[in-house]
């Protein structure tokens, strides 16, 4: 850590991890309701649990991105943050808004557009926080060095904040509502967030592998070009069945197929950089998360996305457990794991220590990744059966669901592994030990055979 | 490869190409917006009651259990075609009666069965919600869902 103001990131990461804990516990609870539907049904209905699960996810990922930006921009721009004080103000606004949103969900006050349920004052709070953030990082970058990483990161963050405007636009016409809703939802996770992801990944690989900046930055531009060239018109894969023109079936199928490319490139990028890298960075756990994130993102977002993106397939699979399988693995790989990579990389520096608890951290990686993979597989099986029974044969929804219960039981088990992994991760970040639980071997003095 | 694709060329392709795709996307959005208003949702007028029903739908966060045109949560049945499934698509009165009876019978309390929460809706709310669902059911969704099961 070169600059004092990078310390701001510490508090963002702490807040993000607290919400991460809430998010996965909410997910576990929702998973249990699938197994035992009467559980809490009067006190805390499924729709409220789900709002907490999804909203907490979105907010903690954003907190992680903001923290990552505050951590890496001073280093990239070679100067202190424009205003650390504003960064703290921004964090307080976001936390008050988050607690306010959770509190109002619990007493039954919420909007009704999926993921955008926050009460209006919270939405405005998020907007104000985003503007403070943009001002702060833009002033920092403008006064300092401009690199490809800061260019792409800023562009991603500016665009995602501008798209937030559509959270306020709710047309009376349901089909228009849905179309503009996707301007936030799709153009966040399948376009602008990919810019943020690629920029952060490039920064991590630059630091962890020591590969020449020119090489990293060229890759970065190629990756984000493929992300936007495919992702913008790829929005069309959400427009098949919501009342929009039929041409979206072709535009959406073709361009969203190309959405696999940026994820394939990010995975290749990560592995090639490690292959070329000469640096033997001590933080192995951060490297594991970086490689893991790009790999799982390729499978979750890329492969599982392509699985049901062609309109001929999607006609049958739309809105089944196939979608749920894809959503879980894509979010975990692309955005959860990337955030955890940044936390793993930055936290030791923010606490001015050597990397610590790497063994526990790596155990948490395998627990979470294994759990998410298993969850994805069982939901994919459930979705395949559901698609056939409900969409091909025409059996009624609840009859089909009753025959899927074994998969929901297995999903709960997978979710429990993820929760244990998440809690272990938080423990390994916050509870500092002096030594690793498994002592590392001596540095290799003799090359292996 | 390395000499042809320099960093600054890659950057220019990124910026130029992105602008091109944004322009195409915006043009198609404008067309789609008009298509929705004039063609796909023109089957039934977007009355005040329908709009009111949409707000009832939103205020009670129905989307976090049900799906509507396949979007939402997958915990409870699709409702984009529920009026067709109930056979009341063409009768506002039957739609209202059926919906009211359904909502008032919830939660069923049956052990091992997913529970829909109890909603205290006025008759006016119920009527608006029924109209909203009838309106949504008449949207031209390119033939989706494949069958009545939704």
Q: What are phi and psi of B122, to 5 degrees?
A: -75, 165
Tell me: do B68 and B85 sit in the same domain.
Answer: yes
Residues in A 127-156 with any Cβ partner in B closer than 8 A: 148, 151
Tell me: do B102 and B35 sit in the same domain.
Answer: no
CA dihedral A262, A266, A267, A271 (to 10 degrees): 150
Structural domain containing residue B31: 7-39
Residues of A in Cβ contact (< 8 Å) with B77 = 396-398
- A112–B62 C-beta distance less than 8 A: yes
B67: helix, strand or coil: strand
pLDDT tens digit string along A51-86? Answer: 999 999 999 999 999 999 999 999 999 999 999 999
pLDDT reading at A444 higher than 90: no
- CATH classification of the domain holding A50: 1.20.120
Q: Residue A408: what pLDDT? A: 98
Residue A198: inside a domain: no
CA-angle at B84, arms to B82 and B90, nearest 5°: 120
Tell me: do B29 and B57 sit in the same domain.
Answer: no
B137: helix, strand or coil: helix
pLDDT tens digit string along A285-314? Answer: 999 999 999 999 999 999 999 999 999 999
pLDDT reading at B10 higher than 70: yes
Tell me: do B17 and B70 sit in the same domain.
Answer: no
The Cα–Cα gap between A405 and A34 comes to: 8
Nearest CA in chain B to A183: B29
Residues in A 92-121 with any Cβ partner in B closer than 8 A: 110-114, 117
Q: What is the ipTM of this complex?
A: 0.96
A323: helix, strand or coil: helix
Structure tokens at A188: 């966040």
Any chain B CB within 8 A of the CB of A405?
Answer: no
Any chain B CB within 8 A of the CB of A21?
Answer: no
Q: Residue A305: what pLDDT? A: 98
DSSP string, A86-126: HHHHHHHHHHHHHHHHHHHHHTT----STT--S-HHHHHHH
pLDDT reading at A447 higher than 80: no
Tell me: do B28 and B98 sit in the same domain.
Answer: no
Query: Which of A192 and A353 is assigned the larger pLDDT?
Result: A192
pLDDT reading at A1 higher than 90: no
Q: Residue B4: what pLDDT? A: 86
The Cα–Cα gap between A427 and A424 comes to: 5
Q: How many domains does chain A have?
A: 1
Query: Which of B3 and B60 is assigned the larger pLDDT?
Result: B60
Average pLDDT taken over every residue of chain A: 96
B78: helix, strand or coil: strand
CA distance B66 to chain A (A): 9
Nearest CA in chain B to A109: B59
Residues of B in Cβ contact (< 8 Å) with A172 = 46, 50-51, 54
Residue of B9, B71, B80 to mutate when probing chain A, most A C-beta within 10 A:
B71
Tell me: do B31 and B91 sit in the same domain.
Answer: no
Residue B150: inside a domain: no
CA distance B93 to chain A (A): 22
Residue B109: inside a domain: yes
pLDDT tens digit string along B93-112? Answer: 999 999 999 999 999 989 88
Q: Residue A445: what pLDDT? A: 63
Q: How many domains does chain B have?
A: 2
Residues of B in Cβ contact (< 8 Å) with A179 = 29, 32-33, 36
pLDDT reading at A264 higher than 90: yes
Nearest CA in chain A to B44: A173
Which residues have CB under 8 Å from A432's CB, separation 6+? A351, A353, A356, A357
Pairs across A and B, CB distance < 8 A: 207
Q: Which of A326, A340, A332 is nearest to A290 (CA)?
A: A340
pLDDT reading at B3 higher than 80: no
Any chain B CB within 8 A of the CB of A240?
Answer: yes
- B21–A229 C-beta distance less than 8 A: yes
Residue A71: inside a domain: yes
Tell me: do B68 and B110 sit in the same domain.
Answer: yes
Q: Residue A90: what pLDDT? A: 98
CA dihedral A190, A191, A194, A199 (to 10 degrees): 180
Alpha-carbon distances, residue B53 vs A154, A301, B74 (angstroms): 41, 35, 21
CA distance A253 to chain B (A): 15
Nearest CA in chain A to B27: A233
Structure tokens at B149: 């099961």
Alpha-carbon distances, residue B82 vs A63, A144, A345, B76, B132 (angstroms): 39, 58, 50, 12, 11
Residue B68: inside a domain: yes
pLDDT tens digit string along A176-228? Answer: 999 999 999 999 999 999 999 999 999 999 999 999 999 999 999 999 999 99
Tell me: do B106 and B129 sit in the same domain.
Answer: yes
pLDDT reading at B52 higher than 60: yes
B72, containing H or E segment: strand B71-72
Beta bridge partner(s), residue B67: B72, B78
Nearest to A112 among B33, B57, B77 (CB): B57
Average pLDDT taken over every residue of chain B: 95
pLDDT tens digit string along A112-169? Answer: 999 999 999 999 999 999 999 999 999 999 999 999 999 999 999 999 999 999 999 9
Residue A185: inside a domain: no
Tracing tokens 């990397």 back to the chain, one arrives at A355
Tell me: do B98 and B54 sit in the same domain.
Answer: yes
Which residues have CB under 8 Å from A1's CB, separation 6+? A7, A349, A350, A352
Tell me: do B26 and B66 sit in the same domain.
Answer: no
Which residues have CB under 8 Å from A383's CB, separation 6+? A317, A320, A321, A322, A323, A324, A325
Structural domain containing residue A61: 1-144
Residue B145: inside a domain: no
Tell me: do B16 and B57 sit in the same domain.
Answer: no
Residue A257: inside a domain: no
Residue pair A236/A255 in contact (Cβ under 8 Å)? The answer is yes
Residues of B in Cβ contact (< 8 Å) with A232 = 18, 21-22, 24-25
Tell me: do B32 and B101 sit in the same domain.
Answer: no
CB-count exposure of residue B44 (10 Å: 0-12, 13-18, 19+): middle
Residue A437: inside a domain: no
pLDDT band at A280; cut points 50, 70, 90: confident
The Cα–Cα gap between A84 and B41 comes to: 50
Nearest to A321 among B65, B74, B145 (CB): B74
């Amino acid at each position: 850590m070169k600059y004092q103001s990078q310390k701001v990131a510490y508090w963002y990461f702490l807040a993000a991890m607290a919400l991460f804990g809430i998010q996965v516990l909410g997910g576990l609870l929702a998973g249990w309701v699938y197994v035992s539907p009467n559980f809490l049904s009067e006190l805390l209905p499924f729709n409220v649990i789900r709002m907490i699960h999804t909203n907490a996810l979105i907010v903690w990922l954003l907190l992680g991105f903001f923290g990552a930006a505050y951590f890496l921009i001073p280093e990239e721009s070679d100067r202190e943050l424009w205003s650390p004080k504003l960064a703290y103000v921004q964090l307080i606004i976001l936390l008050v808004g988050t607690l306010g949103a959770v509190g109002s969900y619990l007493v039954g006050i919420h909007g009704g557009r999926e993921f955008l349920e926050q009460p209006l004052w919270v939405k405005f709070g998020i907007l104000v926080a985003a503007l403070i953030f943009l001002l702060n990082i833009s002033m920092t970058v403008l006064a300092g060095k401009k690199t490809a990483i800061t260019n792409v990161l800023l562009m991603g963050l500016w665009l995602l904040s501008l798209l937030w405007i559509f959270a306020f636009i709710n047309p009376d016409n349901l089909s228009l509502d849905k179309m503009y809703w996707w301007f936030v939802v799709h153009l966040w996770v399948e376009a602008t967030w990919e810019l943020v992801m690629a920029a952060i990944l490039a920064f991590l690989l630059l630091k962890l592998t020591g590969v020449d900046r020119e090489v990293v930055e060229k890759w970065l531009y190629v990756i984000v070009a493929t992300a936007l060239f495919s992702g913008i018109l790829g929005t069309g894969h959400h427009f098949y069945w919501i009342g929009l023109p039929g041409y979206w079936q072709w535009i959406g199928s073709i361009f969203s197929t190309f959405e696999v490319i940026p994820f394939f490139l990010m995975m290749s990028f990560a592995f090639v950089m490690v292959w070329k890298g000469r640096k033997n960075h001590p933080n192995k756990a951060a490297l594991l998360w970086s490689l893991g994130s790009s790999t799982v993102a390729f499978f979750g977002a890329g492969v599982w996305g392509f699985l049901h993106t062609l309109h001929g397939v999607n006609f049958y699979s739309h809105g089944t457990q196939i979608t749920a399988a894809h959503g879980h693995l894509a979010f975990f790989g692309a955005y959860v794991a990337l955030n955890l990579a940044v936390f793993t990389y930055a936290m030791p520096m923010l606490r001015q220590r050597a990397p610590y608890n790497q063994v526990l951290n790596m155990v948490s990686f395998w627990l979470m990744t294994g759990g998410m993979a298993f969850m994805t597989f069982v939901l994919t099986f459930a979705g395949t059966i559901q698609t056939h029974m409900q969409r091909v044969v025409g059996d009624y929804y609840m009859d089909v669901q009753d025959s899927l219960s074994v998969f929901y039981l297995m999903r709960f088990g997978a979710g429990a592994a993820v929760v244990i992994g998440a809690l272990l991760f938080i423990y390994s970040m916050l509870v500092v030990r002096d030594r690793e639980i498994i002592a590392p071997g001596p540095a290799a003095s003799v090359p292996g055979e | 490869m390395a000499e042809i694709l320099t960093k600054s060329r890659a950057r220019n392709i990124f910026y130029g190409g992105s602008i091109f795709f944004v322009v195409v996307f915006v043009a198609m959005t404008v067309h789609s917006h008009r298509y929705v208003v004039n063609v796909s949702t023109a089957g039934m007028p977007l009355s005040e009651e329908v709009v009111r029903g949409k707000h009832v739908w939103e205020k009670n966060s129905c989307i976090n259990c049900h799906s509507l045109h396949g979007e939402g949560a997958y915990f409870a049945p699709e409702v984009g075609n529920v009026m067709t499934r109930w056979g009341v698509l063409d009768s506002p009165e039957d739609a209202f009666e059926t919906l009211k009876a359904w909502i008032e019978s919830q939660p069923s309390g049956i052990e091992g069965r997913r529970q829909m929460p109890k909603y205290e809706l006025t008759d006016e709310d119920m009527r608006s919600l029924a109209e909203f669902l009838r309106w949504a059911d008449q949207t031209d969704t390119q033939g989706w869902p494949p069958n009545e099961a939704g």
